[in-house]
Structure 1
Amino acid sequence: MVDRPNKPQALATTPGLPPQAQVNITHDNSRVSAVLPSGECIEVLLHGATVTSWKDRAGNERLWLSEAAKLDGSKAVRGGIPLVFPVFGTAPDHEPTSKLPQHGFARNSRWDFLGKSTTESSGQTDASVKLDFGLSTATIDDEAKKLWPFSFSLIYSVTLTPDALRTGIVITNDGDQPFEFQTLLHTYFRIGDITKVKISGLEESAYIDKVDGAKEKQQTGDVTIAGEVDRVYHPASPETPVVVSESGEAKFSIVRDNLGDVVVWNPWVEKAQGMGDFEPKDGYRNMICVEAGAVKAWTKLEAGDAYEGGQIISV
């Protein structure tokens, strides 16, 4: 092929075309990254379809990721946004999921990248990009099929805009038998100082305190963190945004769609010390998990039916 000195530029850089997001598959086809014209960017690991990074246009990271997180597919990622399905925690008393590992198999499975869709703009402030990922009975490993022998398909969508991140899941029962499931978006937010954090939007909500023997309690006022916290809230006002503030300034606002529960988690000192993939050990000071999900009860999906849920995180 002759290398012409005046060969034309690629279409994406042709003057006059509107700005659009750039999407790349990197790290030996293990990660998908996207950058908006305004500079915001995300990275998604195909192992678990885990969002591992979400940065603003100045390069500031919004998600917490452990320095010891395994990104080679050998185990679930500690940090970012792991996806929980079809069981939250473990459920030894729920026969269909009793043999599954902690938080199910979705976060430990290799997902397919189904493609992108972008919104072009005349400027840099209204462009967006949506990345779609898929997992199904046909693509999970044999061990997972053995432990959970139902026919299903999942489509997980991650949408980046200049001021928000949207994550949503569609779960379809492809078989001829109903099944029950739980699902959760296990979001690790990066913050500056956990002692200065307050979480609003859960006032007067009932919750299960897993640190105190799974006792049922009632929230009064804002949630503050002064020790290990592991709570499953069922918000009294499900339409009210859950807001994470630090030093009186709102940092994140989470609006849920068909995800009725909110888990709040911070391991604090002793639990962080005991987790091999949690680094640095004082990293609990710089993270808070606020997780939208459907986990307090089981969601039953009849043959051929589909379930859809998601969240919008605004900054």
Structure 2
Amino acid sequence: MAKDPEAFPGKDYHDPPPAPLFDTVELTKWSFYRALIAEFIATLLFLYVTIATVIGYKIQSDTKMNGEVCGGVGVLGIAWAFGGMIFILVYCTAGISGGHINPAVTFGLFLARKVSLIRAVLYMVVQSLGAIAGVALVKALNSSYETYGGGANELSAGYSAGVGLSAEIIGTFVLVYTVFSATDPKRNARDSHVPVLAPLPIGFAVFIVHLATIPITGTGINPARSLGAAVIYNQDKAWDKHWIFWVGPFIGAAIAAFYHQFILRAGAAKALGSFRSNPHV
């Protein structure tokens, strides 16, 4: 039986070509430097608001300082601060820099050939600098900053390094997988509302992951966030097992990139097409 040519219509979307590994032309464009500035400012604002929320909660719930046991925004409020700020900042910067605001997200998109190596490296640098500047601003404006741990990520008592690493891997996988799914050109073509709504699921992913992993690691899933707090707080406990907050997110991002690009998208589609075209298989 002959195949109906209209039964398999052409794609109604176009995958962008892979980004070149070394794109030196980017260095000559103002749009590239504008994107770097956007990533720096977005990460600065992200760390300022979120770390200030963490410190504020600890102050309000410290009974020794006339606080209340259940005072402040609570863990739920902290999670909302992180997720809400990502939603806002991705919405604001997506059209300028892509709204990464996280070296792990940048790393995952680099592995998927969405950005060049030059852009990926410089994004990570300005994200880290922005995070340091954001936490420094919190310290400058809050005299109780160091008293309450500086918002630094730490492995909680009772958890091994393996558990902490696993939590960071899984949490970052959820985030980066959501980024890939929300920005998939195939979905954007068929559901015109998706580009507008993309920051929403990304922000919710950050919110949900924080609820799950705050009790374990304080939730990193963003190496710049962890580095910024560790550099400004600069106490031994902030640097103890700090590697977890880099290795875990990068592994999680790599798994998410592989899963989305080669299992859900190109790899699986090609394998299925090859199977259908060969009647002897």
Per the normalisation by structure 1, the TM-score is 0.26
Of the two structures, which has the highest relative contact order with CA contacts closer than 8 Å and spacing of 6 or more? Answer: 2
User: Structure 1 or 2: larger strand share?
Assistant: 1
User: Structure 1 or 2: larger helix share?
Assistant: 2
